[in-house]
Amino acid sequence: MLKVVVMVSGGGTNLQAVIDGVKNGTITNTEIVGVISNNKNAYALKRAEENGIPNVCVSPKDFATREEFNDKLLEAVDAYSPDLVVLAGFLVVIPPAMIEKYRNRMINIHPSLIPSFCGKGFYGLKVHEAALARGVKVVGATVHFVDEGTDTGPIILQKAVDVQQGDTPEILQRRVMEQAEWIIMPKAIDLIANGRVKVEGNRTIISQE
Ligand code: GAR
């Protein structure tokens, strides 16, 4: 069983997709052992609660320094002894010590086709605003391992989504979630849980069933 900790900041629809995936068998060999949020009001924490998943909030507001927060965040993750850490809309800069400790064992979902519309400042709705402003016709989402850079780690899965005439950032965001994020995030976890993802340099190799 792959023990997974999911880290969230907001609504938690990707967390929900993972919970549903474990329940309906899309994700196999996996147990969600904990949910961590930096935001005590995150609806994602309610989703964890409703599904009987242990959860905790570690907020930077509760600590005098960033270093102290970073230490407590890593402690909270370690406390669940996870095999995999899943960043599902976790909008906090990951402490370097955590990146080092969970190298190739921490994944993130980003709402664009990396390397487009990613890096510093590109998160949430801003990604979709930028895509519409640039006038691209195809967008999408990416699941990747986390390394020291912002959205630079080895890519595991990507899925493209068409932009439609009249899209607003909100409409596009929803379509990218429905048609890409909620599919590739569960799929990536299932692949990892079944030993099918190998990292070679900055790439991954997905083995066939
Ligand atoms: C998702 O669209 C996710 O891709 C994005 O935040 C949203 C969280 O939604 N993440 C980033 O932008 C990371 N750079 P959710 O809380 O409903 O899953």
Report how far ligand 1's centroid is from the alpha carbon of 160 (Å).
16
Q: Which of 8, 14, 16 to mutate to test the pocket of ligand 1 (most atoms within 8 A of CB)?
A: 14
Q: Which residues have a Cβ under 8 Å from the Cβ of 116 and sit 6 or more positions away?
A: 131, 136, 139
- Alpha-carbon torsion angle 186, 187, 193, 196, nearest 10: -160
- Total domain count for the chain? 2
Instruction: Tell me how far the alpha carbon of residue 109 lies from the centroid of ligand 1, in angstroms.
Output: 7
Could you confirm whether 110 is annotated as catalytic? yes
Helix and strand counts by DSSP (H, E) for the chain: 7, 9
**pLDDT for the residue numbered 209:** 78
pLDDT confidence of residue 52: 98
- My answer on whether 52 and 126 are in the same domain is no
Q: Same domain, yes or no, for 26 and 95?
A: yes
pTM: predicted TM-score of the whole model, two decimal places: 0.97
pLDDT tens for 136-152 read: 999 999 999 999 999 99
Task: Specify the pLDDT at position 61.
Answer: 96
Round to whole Å and give the CA distance between 70 and 83: 20
Low-confidence ranges of the chain (pLDDT < 50): none
Give the pLDDT score at 118. Answer: 98
CATH assignment at residue 18: 3.40.50.170
Domain hosting residue 66, numbered range: 1-102
Report CA(108)–ligand 1 centroid distance (Å).
9
